Amino acid sequence: MKIFKSALLGLAFVGASISVNAHATDASITTESTPGRMLVLGGEGIGGVTRSHLRPARHDFPKDSGLSSKRVTTIEWQTTWYPEAIEQSVELCYFRPYSRNHVGCIQVSPNSSGSTTHFSGQRFNEGTEVQLVYRAKSATGVLPRHVAPAGKDRVVFHFSY
């Protein structure tokens, strides 16, 4: 009977330890970037493309997240636009840490804000990147020419660990 009570006490302790560690912590990191000037060539099917690179830095992460496994829950965005560009489009693409290949892209609008859970569950850590890919079919004025963005892009990574 004494062994049985000890075993039950041990199982209760293990159960308590597991339930304490099972609680995920939610956090968020905000990054900003100004996309580069876009060279718009014009003509049949030849427009312009540029990217904004948004990455969390090591010092952005909560100190207690350390080596914990981190997963994206939601991504919020705020895009800029190119006032002199014609027929603009923007894609938001997610890259796992230190990967050259995106796991997917979604269409968003220039000069807009919103959020998505499309990438929920993806690995998230230092080295993760969101690229906002801007495309324009043409631009005002004489082509080819460089057009400038109106402002900055902002991405908020919501994640759990």
Per the structure, the count of domains in the chain is 1
At 61-113, the pLDDT tens digits run 999 998 889 999 999 999 999 999 999 999 999 999 999 999 999 999 999 99
Question: Is residue 2 in some structural domain?
Answer: no
Question: Is residue 98 in some structural domain?
Answer: yes
Question: Is residue 82 in some structural domain?
Answer: yes
- The model scores a pTM over 0.95: no
pLDDT value at residue 66: 85
Question: Is residue 64 in some structural domain?
Answer: yes
Domain that holds residue 129: 25-160
- Report how far Cα 35 is from the mean position of its chain's Cα atoms: 15
At 105-146, the pLDDT tens digits run 999 999 999 999 999 999 999 999 999 999 999 999 999 999
Strand partners, 132: 52, 92
Question: Is residue 20 in some structural domain?
Answer: no
Identify the CATH number of the domain in which residue 142 sits. Answer: 2.60.120.260
Rg (CA), the chain: 23
Which residue carries 């090591």 as its tokens? 58
Question: Is residue 96 in some structural domain?
Answer: yes
**Nearest to 89, CA basis, from 118, 70, 109, 72:** 109
Output the CA torsion sign for 50, 155, 102, 88.
negative
Question: Is residue 77 in some structural domain?
Answer: yes
Question: Is residue 8 in some structural domain?
Answer: no
Instruction: Name, in order, each residue with C-beta under 8 angstroms of 16's C-beta and a sequence gap of 6 or more.
Output: none
Q: Residues 89-120, buried b or exposed e (16+ Cβ, 10 A)?
A: ebbbbbbbeeeeebeebeebebeeeeeeeebe
